[in-house]
Amino acid sequence: MSGFAIDPCAKCEEAMQPYLDGSLSDAEIAEANAHLERCAYCAKRYRFEVELRRFVRQAAVEEMPPQLKQRLMQLRTPLL
């Protein structure tokens, strides 16, 4: 460590995905919750991640229209 204090937002960013996955310890969850209550930026980022996950889950179960599938197949580029 270079002597600088750890940026709480950077620490929150690092813990965001494990927090959303429910894989943090109780102490880490409490620390993340406390930061999210104090920091509007990180709270906004958290809400975005929650909505993104909701969107991805929803999109994964909806059938893609055949026209869209065909268009995406046309846009594919071969692997070299």
Q: CA 79, CA 60: separation in Å to the nearest integer?
A: 25
Separation of alpha carbons 69 and 15, rounded Å: 36
Query: How many whole angstroms separate alpha carbon 58 and alpha carbon 64?
Result: 12
Residue spans of the domains in the chain: they are 8-75
pLDDT by residue for the chain (80 residues), tens only, comes to 343 457 889 999 999 999 999 999 999 999 999 999 999 999 999 999 999 999 988 887 878 889 998 998 889 887 76
Please report how the helices 26-38 and 8-21 are oriented relative to each other, as an axis angle in degrees rounded to 10: 120
Predicted TM-score of the model (pTM): 0.65
Residue 65 DSSP one-character state: P
